[in-house]
Amino acid sequence: MKHLIQEMLDLTRAEQIDVQYPYEITNVNEVVRRVVSDLAMVHPDFKIQLDEDDLPDDTEIQMYHGHLEQLLVILIDNGIKYSTDRKQINVSAGVTKKEVSIMVQDFGEGISPEDQKKIFNRFYRVDKARTREKGGNGLGLSIAQKLVDSYKGEISVESVEGQGSQFKMVFPVLSKKRAAKLRKIEAEKHKNDVPDGILK
């Protein structure tokens, strides 16, 4: 119940992004590397591979870093939960002129075409008995979609039953000009937040 309440709170917060984090900037490489490294330590029985050859080190998106971390954890954790014999998760990231794409691939049970249409709905679980066994409440992907939508991104899935699933997130790339403008706004905001008499 505690876990369910926390997920419900996360879902509510995911619907209020614009109010809370309008000017946040995140370096995609740093977050992806950190999350993959952390989860590889937590799940030593899994091979979690990262391919970011097509992602320049300075790639940024307009997002609070904690939310990108949360998205990656949801997708990688789901992949681990529904893996079968092949204990491997592939994470890849790349960029075009306008978009950053991040993919999480597992080699597990897969999802039927009918279930693929519903998996982002609140409380929807592909196999209710098995999900309950694995500790899921059916809210992770709903939270993920709300977060992605709030940052003007897209999330999708491709899956083959018995072979595995690939989740893909796409976000607008933050231009250098726009990033500089956001940093200036954020700096001004913090400057104004400092009470009189306190050294900056």
| pLDDT tens track for 142-153 | 889 988 998 999
How many structural domains is the chain composed of? 1
Check whether 169 has a pLDDT greater than 70. yes
In a domain, 133, yes or no: yes
CATH number at residue 118: 3.30.565.10
| Of 86, 48, 69, 54, the residue nearest 162 (C-alpha) | 86
When pLDDT is averaged across residues 169-185 and rounded to a whole number, the result is: 93
| Of 101, 9, 21, the residue nearest 67 (C-alpha) | 21
In a domain, 145, yes or no: yes
Distance of CA 53 to the CA centre of its chain: 19
Q: Quick one: what percent of the chain has pLDDT higher than 90? A: 52
In a domain, 94, yes or no: yes
Tell me: the pLDDT tens digits for 102-135? 999 999 999 999 888 888 887 666 654 444 445 4
The beta strands (E) that lie in 128-183 are given as: 154-160, 164-172
Tell me: the pLDDT tens digits for 62-102? 998 889 998 999 999 999 998 889 999 999 999 988 999 99
In a domain, 179, yes or no: no
Q: At what angle do helices 140-150 and 65-81 cross, to 10 degrees?
A: 150
- Between CA 25 and CA 150 the distance in angstroms is 14
In a domain, 143, yes or no: yes
In a domain, 189, yes or no: no
Q: Give the 3-state secondary structure of residue 117.
A: coil
Per the structure, the complete domain to which residue 68 belongs is given by 2-174
In a domain, 188, yes or no: no
In a domain, 182, yes or no: no
Between the CA of residue 43 and those of 69, 72, 149, 174, 195, what are the distances in Å? 17, 15, 29, 32, 45
Joined together, the tokens standing for residue 180 give 């500089």
